[in-house]
Each structure stands twice: as structure tokens, then as C-alpha cells.
Amino acid sequence: MRHRTNFLIRYALPWAIFGVAFVLLGAFQIWPTVRGSTFGPVLPYHTTNSYLISLLKIRDGSERLQRALAALPADRPVAVLLPKDDERWIFVGYLIGYFAWPREVQIAPLTKLNAAHELHALDRDSLGGIFFAGFPPPPGFSPALSIGAGLTMVPKMVNAEPAP
């Protein structure tokens, strides 16, 4: 009897209190996430599309990026120009890199100070296309294809190829 009481006081009661407090605290954090979840959609680009909905305000962002990239030469790098230290556009740049394989992706963060220099320094002949993320392409960069809110692609024009 004494052994049983001792066990209850030393082990069962403290651990029961801990267990209840632990479950309650955890459940308060977890429940809103579980309650707010909806299953699916069952799509091949489940993840990237859900990111691009919030980043570019489009529902089929992955497919659009795939289509845009498919129109570019596979053996030439693409450039992504984006505002420096802007997490949103850096992530968009990474997603372009995700879809652009096997092309090299040159990500160039721009500031107000270096923008003109970086644009001038672009070797446009060697690039398959240029993405402008977070700002529109400056005059002289055309044709400009809009992919989503704030993202524009300027493909290398076939007639801009240097003559053989």
C-alpha cells in the first residue's frame, strides 16, 4: 500500500500533470493548423503552384514558367534580375532556377545604384532569356512576356542572333 502511494506521488501524478499540460499546450498550437487544412489539390506541381499563387498571383505558375522556359534555347543561360535583399523575389529567382534546368541561371540582385550598370553589363547575346522580377523591363527590352504579377520574361529573339 505504502509502495503504491509512493509510486503514485513520485511518478504517476507528476507525469500525469506533465502529460495533460503538454497535450493541452501542444493541441492549442496544432489544432488551428489542422482545422485550416484542406486536402490536395492532387497535382504534379502541388508545391510550386501553391508558392506561385502567393508570389505571382497566378494559379498555374509552374506550367506557365515551364512553357516560357520551353521556348528558350536549352543550351544558353538565363538571367534573373531582381531587387536586392527582397526575399519574395529571391525565392521567385530560385523557383526559376528550379524549372530552368539544364540552363545555368544567373541571378543578379539590383539596387538603385547598380541597376543601370548591371543592365548594361548583361551579355545579351549569350543569354537565352532575361527575367525581370519585381520591376518591369526597361525600354529596349522586348518582346516582354508577362508570366505573373511582377514577373516578365524577355526571350532572346531569333532574329537577334548574330549572323553566321
Partner 1 sequence: MIFLGVLGALLTLLAAGFGLTLLLLRGRAQINLLEAAALAWLFGSGAISLFLWGGGLVAKGAPLQLGITALAVFFAAYGAIEARRRQVKFYFPKPRHPIEWILAGAIALEGAIIFFSAGSHGLGWDGLLNWEVKARYAFLNDGVIPAAYYHSASRAYTHPGYPLLIPLTELWFYRWMGEINQFFIKLIFPLYYAAGAILLATAGTRLTNRRWPGLAASALLFFVPALTSAPGDAAGGYADFPLGVLYLCSFAYLLLFSKSGAAFDLRVFAIATALLPWAKREGAILWFVAVLCGAAILWRRREKLPAYLWLLPGLFVILAWKLFLHFMHPAEGVEFLPLSLATVSGNLPRLGPIFRMALGEMLETTRWSLFWPGLTIAFLYLAVGMRDRRFFILAFAVGTPLVVYSAAYLLSAWPDYSLHLGASFSRLLLHVMPVGWLAIALAVSGSAAASPPPDNPDQSQNR
- Min dist. Cβ of residue 89 to partner 1 (A): 14
Where are the strands (E) in 21-139, listed by range?
A: 78-83, 105-110, 129-133
Residue 83 in the binding site for partner 1 (CB under 8 A): no
Q: How far is the CB of 163 from partner 1 (least distance, A)?
A: 29
The grid coordinates listed for 161 are 542572333
Radius of gyration of the chain, Cα coordinates, nearest whole angstrom: 26
106 forms part of the interface with partner 1 (CB under 8 A): yes
Of 129, 130, 135, nearest to 151 by C-alpha is 135
Region of 29-37, 114-122, 130-138, 150-158 interacting with partner 1 (CB under 8 A): 29-37
Per-residue exposure over 122-135, b if at least 16 CB sit within 10 Å of its own CB, e if not: eeeeebbbbbbbbe
Per-residue binding string, partner 1, 37-56, x by CB under 8 A, is xxxxxxxxxxxx-xx-----
Positions touching partner 1 (CB under 8 A) are: 7, 10-12, 14-15, 18-19, 21-23, 25-27, 29-30, 32-34, 37-48, 50-51, 77, 91, 94, 97-98, 101-102, 104-107
